[in-house]
Amino acid sequence: MLHLDCKGETRCPCEKCDNPYFMNPKAMRRHVRIYGFSQSYKTWIYHDESLIPPAVDAVSPSNEMADVIDDVMWKSRENDINLDEGTSNTGGSGVDDDFEELLEAVETKLYPGRTFSFLDFLAKLMHMKVNNKWTDSSLDQLLELLHSAFPPNNKVPRSYYLAKKKLKKLGLGYESIHVYKNDCFLFWKEHKSLQVCPVYKESWWIDKNTKGKKVAHKVLQYFPVAPRLRRLYCSRYTSKNMIWHSTGRSEDGVMHHPVDVESWQKFDVDYPDLSSEPRNVRLGLATDGFNPFGNMCHPHSTWPVVLTTYNVPPWLCMKESSLMLALLILGPKVPGKDLDVFLRPLVEELKFLWQSGVRIKDATTNTFFTMKVMLLWTINDFPARSSLLGWSG
């Protein structure tokens, strides 16, 4: 039963409005269908339910980082297992040290007498910086002000550099891969030690004889996919949405989400072993080039390769928070039909995640499972499609 005011309007409990705004019941129902019900609206105090104190303990800010710390600890255990079995380990023994530092940071208070943890403060501050597009210098000034305004012995870092250095321990970094200037060869994996391109017999360095730091002609930035998907499952606040495609399918014959289309359902029939585990991840890939300088007189083309997760609800799967940058191909020219050279690291990882998968922890159920990944679709315009297929278009 809806509780209307004198104008015949009610508060909208959708994820976007979250109750402050009044509207007619028809518009409210439309909002709830589009944006989903507010996840934070547990007690219906605006819709005639009495305010009863919750039976469970409230989640403290420090607990919000606990899942992330636990993920770092699990990586540490995996590294120990790999070392014991004699397998290769890219993480090194430094993960244990990182875990100890992060554990100390999450237990350290921002300043004496405050329950807010130092690590949680840094994470929220960086999140605000990204959302509001703060410059590095503006954040430096803010941190300097906060450090001076807070009580003595506070842990506020004095600069953005120091804050970023501390959060770097949380992982989710990227790998820089050198590329030959003609876009024909990656100096990666078994070819990483080479100093010249085997095709053109030339060095990858702009000046190989310089006495200073050598600079490569081109650098590809590769962001591994598996750690980012692992992080989605390590948090109780994101892992619960990763099976929506299994529980939230349309029953009215109307397409609300890619899970409702025929090709998705055909995939489930063709690959029952993968579709039987709803926590396996379905991805879409999008790429296109743009000029980051906003000046067409300055020829430059940067190509990001972005993945989106279709496991989550329709009001989340195309949000910025659900998009994962996998590759960043820096100009100055369009990669064209050589785009497949740059895609090699991503293709190899996706093939591994499709065939073997990775063992990860689901924070919602507190269980481990082997997560596999499938790339369902690519999203691009026709020129980018030509590049993805290796055509000259």
CB 111 within 8 A of CB 151: yes
Does 17 score more than 60 pLDDT?
Answer: yes
Can you give the pLDDT at residue 89? 41
Number of CB atoms found within 10 A of residue 60's CB: 13
Confidence band for 45, pLDDT divided at 50, 70 and 90: low
What is the arithmetic mean of pLDDT over 245-268?
85
- b/e 295-331 (16+ beta carbons within 10 angstroms → b): eeeeebbebbbbbbbbbbbbbbbeeeebbbebbbbeb
CA atoms within 13 A on the CB side of 99: 17
Distance CA 23, CA 25 (A): 6
User: pLDDT grade, residue 354 (50/70/90)?
Assistant: very high
pLDDT digits (tens, 9 = 90+) for 195-209: 888 777 788 777 777
Nearest to 279 by CA among 362, 375, 377: 362
More confident site: 168 or 375: 375
Q: How far apart are CA 393 and CA 387, in angstroms?
A: 8
d(CA 229, CA 323): 11
Q: What is the distance between the alpha carbons of residues 186 and 347, in angstroms, rounded to a whole number?
A: 14
Structure confidence at residue 352 (pLDDT): 95
Which of 37-51, 72-86, 112-126 holds the top average pLDDT?
112-126
Higher pLDDT, 244 or 29: 244
Give the per-residue pLDDT at 88.
41
Residues comprising the chain, all counted? 393
Of 69-78, 117-126, 181-190, 237-246, least confident by mean pLDDT is 69-78
Query: Residue 305 region, left (φ>0) first, then alpha (ψ -120 to 50), else beta?
Result: beta
Task: Please indicate whether residue 180 or residue 61 has the higher confidence score (pLDDT).
Answer: 180
Cis-peptide, bond into residue 53, ω within 30° of zero: no
Indicate the pTM of the whole model: 0.69
Q: What is the dihedral sign for C-alpha 26, 29, 33, 36?
A: positive
Give the pLDDT mean for 230-238. Answer: 83
Give me the percent of the chain exceeding a pLDDT of 70.
79
Residue 175 DSSP label: E
Q: Rounded to an integer, what distance in angstroms lies between the CA atom of residue 240 and that of residue 36?
A: 15
* pLDDT(239) > 90: no
Task: Compare 248 and 81 and report the one with higher pLDDT.
Answer: 248
Chain-wide mean pLDDT for the chain?
Answer: 79
Rounded to whole angstroms, the Cα distance separating 17 from 9 reads: 14
* Res. 54 pLDDT band, cuts 50 70 90: very low
Cβ count near 14 (within 10 Å): 22
Q: Is pLDDT larger for residue 337 or for residue 88?
A: 337
Which one has a higher pLDDT value, 218 or 375? 375
> Tokens for 257?
């989400």
What mean pLDDT is predicted for residues 52-81? 51
The pLDDT assigned to 87 comes to 44
- The stretch 356-384 carries a mean pLDDT of 88
All residues at 6 or more sequence positions from 367 whose CB lies less than 8 Å from its CB, including other chains: 361
